[in-house]
Amino acid sequence: MIDYITVIGGGLAGCECALQIANAGIKVKLYEMKPIKFSDAHSNENLAEIVCSNSFKSNLITNACGLLKEELRRLNSYLIEIADKVSVPAGQALAVDRDEFAKEVTKLIELNENIEIIREEVTKIPEAGIVIIATGPLTSDKLSKEIAKITGEDKLYFYDAAAPIIEKDSIDMNIGFYGDRYGKAGDNSYINLPMNKEEYTNFYNELINAESSVLHEFEKKEIFEGCMPVEVMAKRGEDTLRFGPLKPVGFTDPRDGSKPYAIVQLRQDDNKATLYNIVGFQTNLKFGEQKRVFSIIPGLQNANFVKYGVMHKNTYINSTKLLDETYNLKSNNRIFLAGQLTGVEGYVESISSGMVAGLNAIRKFLNQEKIIFDEKTMIGCLAKYISSENDKFQPMNANFGILPELDKKIRDKKERYKALADRALAYFEKI
């Protein structure tokens, strides 16, 4: 009998899985191909590398992702605990210093005597023992083919994009000003760059005519709405950005008291507040074009780009046919999948899937019954969503729309979300 559980992939889901299993007293072999091989989007040798935004979204339980984080805290999620520990100011959101986050996760795993880290690319799925595949949306081609073999399904895919990161000292603070929407006092986690109509129109025209990187295999451009490149969004209409990431509502230009026509926000990206990412500016523009076009934004004329935006393919399986509510493969119950490979979208959602897969792998190892989380919880409804038949399946973020309705109608949205959150958290008091 094999006396360990294999976890393939050292991202957010894989690390949560490994830690849950190891701290239940079970040996784990954790495979991670870095630094032997890097995906197109990864560059850091540490585990749990964050590629896109540094935000884990809102901490409020009246926000779906905020509720999900609170549920994970109730289940003693190791990664959420570390995220809280290395958080940087971001208003009501939980944002992290991405380097510190990866270092802390890596250290915790390296110090765990039940976890063996094996730095090599897995090209074959082990033929015995419990296996959790958590290789993420950038699963290597060889392993993707292996997954296709065991699932009997062609792989699905969508496209993801990351925003540029800028040095704070290169932002013109004669133009930029600190503050969250509606002028929340003392909030330095966002820098705001206002535009008048002429400035916005000039930027818009340059953006929609800028040159994008050649996509090669990405030519179908099946872009997931939740992470759409800013240039693609702009081409939907001149005012699209002004109703999206450049929405000026709730801001006043402190220079003259006027209401901006549009506003660009930059969010703190590290603990020292030396780096800021451009909110909503995921992009596939060529690096030279990013420098040229984004430097047109008032306040970014001399911006120093530490990291340019990138676009990459994200792979996920047809979970609605293949997985159950524990992220267990229906056709082979010794194999679990976790993370964005399953069609959950987002950092916290990936951690959630890793938690559920890990806890159920433990139970299978110990010959115990599966734990299926109530669909009235955000953890449970995400698991149910990805495992329920759906011919139009697309990756899913945590959202209140997938929770079962309340017994009584509540018209006020905030009150309704609060009631849904209270109902969900009550479940965790019982388990």
SS3 93: strand
In this structure, the answer to whether residues 395 and 303 fall within a common structural domain is no
In this structure, the answer to whether residues 10 and 148 fall within a common structural domain is yes
Domain count, the chain: 2
Per-residue pLDDT reduced to its tens digit, 313-358: 677 898 999 999 999 999 999 999 999 999 998 999 999 999 999 9
Residue-level pLDDT at 326: 98
User: Any idea what the CATH number is for the domain that residue 301 is in?
Assistant: 2.40.30
DSSP characters over 259-291? PPSEEEEEEE-STTS-EEEETT----B-HHHHH
Residue-level pLDDT at 217: 47
How far is residue 272's CA from residue 359's CA, in Å, rounded to a whole number?
36
In this structure, the answer to whether residues 153 and 13 fall within a common structural domain is yes
Residue-level pLDDT at 186: 57
In this structure, the answer to whether residues 89 and 197 fall within a common structural domain is no
In this structure, the answer to whether residues 201 and 141 fall within a common structural domain is no
Contact by Cβ (8 Å): 264, 253? no
In this structure, the answer to whether residues 37 and 139 fall within a common structural domain is yes
Per-residue pLDDT reduced to its tens digit, 279-315: 999 998 999 999 999 999 999 999 999 888 877 667 7
In this structure, the answer to whether residues 187 and 274 fall within a common structural domain is yes
Higher per-residue pLDDT: 163 or 71: 71
Residue-level pLDDT at 310: 78
**Minimum mean pLDDT among 173-182, 191-200, 360-369, 379-388: which range?**
173-182
In this structure, the answer to whether residues 141 and 24 fall within a common structural domain is yes
Contact by Cβ (8 Å): 366, 338? no
* Residue 400 DSSP one-character state: G
Which of 278, 309, 340 is where one domain is finished?
Answer: 309
Please name the residue ranges forming H helices in 56-131.
64-74, 78-85, 98-110
In this structure, the answer to whether residues 48 and 155 fall within a common structural domain is yes
In this structure, the answer to whether residues 27 and 152 fall within a common structural domain is yes
Which of 285, 309, 333 is where one domain is finished?
Answer: 309
Extract the tokens encoding 137.
Answer: 């949306």
Contact by Cβ (8 Å): 358, 17? yes
In this structure, the answer to whether residues 296 and 332 fall within a common structural domain is no
Indicate the residue type of 184.
K
Residue-level pLDDT at 219: 36
Tell the residue number behind the tokens 């997931």, with chain if given: 224
Within the chain, how many helices (H) and strands (E) appear? 12, 16
What is the domain extent for residue 248?
Answer: 165-309
Among 349, 356, 322, 336, CA closest to 5: 336
In this structure, the answer to whether residues 232 and 288 fall within a common structural domain is yes
User: Any idea what the CATH number is for the domain that residue 325 is in?
Assistant: 3.50.50.60
Mean pLDDT, rounded, for 107-117: 98
How far is residue 189's CA from residue 197's CA, in Å, rounded to a whole number?
26
Mean pLDDT, rounded, for 394-422: 91
SS3 96: strand
How far is residue 338's CA from residue 277's CA, in Å, rounded to a whole number?
28
Residue-level pLDDT at 216: 46
Which of 293, 309, 325 is where one domain is finished?
Answer: 309
**180 pLDDT tier (thresholds 50, 70, 90):** confident
Residue 254 has phi, psi (to 5 degrees) of -65, -15
SS3 190: strand
